[in-house]
Amino acid sequence: MKTIQSDTIQGLINENKGSVTINYNYLGMPAKPEIPKTQHPAKIFISYKRHCDPDERLALQLCNLLNQVGHTAYLDQHMTIGVNWSAEIKRLIAESDFMVLFLSADAVNSEMVLQEVEYAHEQGKQLLPVRLAYTAVLPYQLSGYLDQLQYALWQTEADTERLLRQLSEAVENVEAWQHQPRAVVEAVPEAGLHMPKPYADPRTLDAPGGALGVQSSFYVERQTDRSLQGTMRQRNFTVTIRAPRQCGKTSLLIRAMAQAKQAGYTIVHVDFQPLDSAIFETPTTFCYQFARLLVKKLRLNLQTLESFWDKQSTPFANLAEVIENYILPEVATPLLFAFDEVERMLAVPFRDDFFSQVRSWHNERANDFMGDGWSKVSVMLVISTEPHLFIQNANMSPFNVGERLYLSDFDEAQLRHLNELYQRPLTTPHLADFVKLLGGHPYLSQRALYMLVKDGLAWPALLKVAESDDGPFGDHLRRYLWLLQEQPELAKAIKQVINKGNCPTEATFYRLSRAGLIVGEQDACRCRCQLYAHYLGRKLGR
């Protein structure tokens, strides 16, 4: 019998008669699973949270095993020094047949894990999720990709043999994987009002990275909150809430829906992010499926919908017909259309038709002397401005309907209040450094305070690792680096901002500022926070 020493899994790998035998004694496991050599070699990308246990250890074990039985498995640790890592990860995912996804309590909140899942989904890759001692409901963005998939469940080291065998068999026969009995996940009861799921799971109320439920004690009101509350006291309204990602837009929407519910509104909440990509293929498909979605959320009869759908008419005319002549007569109360993640419509060729339709709802209220019911309709659109990073034409934005509210970063007083809510982990001498480093960025500020409390860190210790790829903000920073490396013009522009304090063109200034990377004016601008300037300056090269 031939014996091969494996440093990766710290055990013996024996090759005999076309099978691989792994000695797991170092794990306290007496069994030696024999896994046959593959008859169908595949390429597998393994996504995991770096520097977390057991995530990284299991990823290395699986990578080693899959390679030993004849597959080609990839980890981000195998990259050549000096390579453009974001482009390389994309290349590896694009070339892979499968993505094995390790989901631990840390991984599910990783921005880079989410980014890899989103890219794999775009590329049509088969996802094989594995829960690592994690049985809570997935955060909302991940759930949109994974809730309908079967998954494996690893709880302790005793499950390692079964997991590795199961994954090897799954890669060998993906149909068998898809039809395995699904593990049971215990759902955590929702806190606060029962309403549609927001951008992120409200069950993680106090952890940064998701929407804060209405009962959260860590929500900090800003001027935008008060402006929205005043607007909603009107009989009807149209509002767009805009800001870069992770500024609290969905948390604000949750509170707006709660206020509307208390005021007697019927609420139709639609999150565009998890909608199936096929819905956006044609105007006809979109309008029909969107109309069905509205009817279903209002618990109206879908068969009745068909009688209002004229195949000889245009798609958006049919959508307007359904709303005006079916939905509005059936709803006696004021009606609020609350649409989240609407920026997804930017990617579809008929975006102008959609936003024209929304404008028409706004305009029909003024013309409702015929009693068509439009006077009871209010509309709220929540929009991330980050997609402007990919918009070449600065005049393309369609979000110019109704009252436009923009969520700003926290000011110093609000940061002091947030520090109080977290029971003052920052002392007064360190608050100024905290403000300077993070610039009032809502997510980064919340995460810093959360880490100080959760891990018992002192501010100097956090500051020391703040700019590290593996530090508390590593996922967030690497995601922006990933996006900029795909846009050389913008990478060059942000280097000029860092070095000279100005932006080369109006178009690049518009795109970088809307993406939440810089602030100021074209001729006098800077990175949104010191953390961005230091990290991007170092990574992109000054």
How far is it, in rounded angstroms, from Cα 283 to Cα 207?
39
Structure tokens at 254: 């949750």
C-alpha closest to that of 145 among 105, 195, 103: 103
How far is it, in rounded angstroms, from Cα 244 to Cα 57?
35
Residues 6 or more apart whose CB falls under 8 angstroms from that of 80 comprise none
Structure tokens at 60: 């290395």
Give the pLDDT confidence score for residue 182 in this predicted structure. 39
Measure the N-to-C terminal CA separation of the chain; round to a whole number of Å. Answer: 56
**Residues found in the chain:** 542
Under 8 Å between Cβ of 326 and 319: no
> Angle at Cα 289 formed by Cα 283 and Cα 291, nearest 5°?
100
Structure tokens at 398: 């369609």
Phi, psi of 19 (to 5 degrees): -125, 160
How far is it, in rounded angstroms, from Cα 75 to Cα 406?
40
How far is it, in rounded angstroms, from Cα 105 to Cα 259?
32
Structure tokens at 92: 């590896």
How far is it, in rounded angstroms, from Cα 488 to Cα 174?
39
Under 8 Å between Cβ of 70 and 38: yes
Question: What distances in angstroms separate CA 422 from CA 2, 152, 427, 431, one per listed residue?
Answer: 58, 36, 12, 13
Q: What b/e sequence results for 105-132 when a residue is b if at least 16 CB atoms lie within 10 Å of its CB, and e otherwise? A: bbbbbbbbbbbbbebbeeeebbbbbbbb
Write the DSSP assignment of 301-328 as a string of letters. Answer: -HHHHHHT--TTS-HHHHHHHHIIIIIH
Beta-sheet pairing, 98-103 with 126-132: parallel
Question: Running DSSP on this structure, what letter comes out for residue 494?
Answer: H
Give the pLDDT confidence score for residue 313 in this predicted structure. 93
Structure tokens at 313: 């008419």
Under 8 Å between Cβ of 36 and 15: no
Phi, psi of 500 (to 5 degrees): -120, -10
Beta strands in 365-418 (DSSP E): 377-384, 403-406
Give the pLDDT confidence score for residue 456 in this predicted structure. 78
Q: Which domains does the chain have, with CATH numbers?
A: 37-178 (3.40.50.10140), 223-406 (3.40.50), 421-540 (no CATH)
Amino acid at 204: T
Amino acid at 517: L
Structure tokens at 185: 């996940």
Tens digit of pLDDT at every position of the chain (542 positions): 232 233 333 333 333 334 444 443 433 333 445 677 888 888 999 999 888 889 999 888 888 888 888 889 888 765 555 567 778 888 899 999 889 999 998 888 888 888 888 888 888 888 889 999 888 878 767 877 887 788 888 888 888 888 878 887 777 775 444 444 433 333 333 322 222 222 223 333 355 667 788 878 888 999 999 999 999 988 789 999 989 888 999 999 999 999 999 999 999 999 998 888 889 999 999 999 999 999 999 999 999 999 999 988 999 999 999 999 999 999 999 999 999 999 888 888 898 889 888 888 888 887 765 556 888 999 999 988 876 555 444 444 445 667 889 999 999 999 999 998 888 889 888 999 999 999 999 999 999 998 888 877 889 999 999 999 888 899 999 989 988 988 899 999 999 999 999 999 998 998 899 889 999 999 999 999 999 999 999 999 86
Under 8 Å between Cβ of 185 and 147: no
Under 8 Å between Cβ of 388 and 515: yes
How far is it, in rounded angstroms, from Cα 107 to Cα 49?
5
Identify the residue whose tokens are 């001027």. Answer: 223
pTM: predicted TM-score of the whole model, two decimal places: 0.66
How far is it, in rounded angstroms, from Cα 167 to Cα 20?
14
How far is it, in rounded angstroms, from Cα 94 to Cα 43?
10
C-alpha closest to that of 292 among 312, 277, 275: 275
Give the pLDDT confidence score for residue 111 in this predicted structure. 81
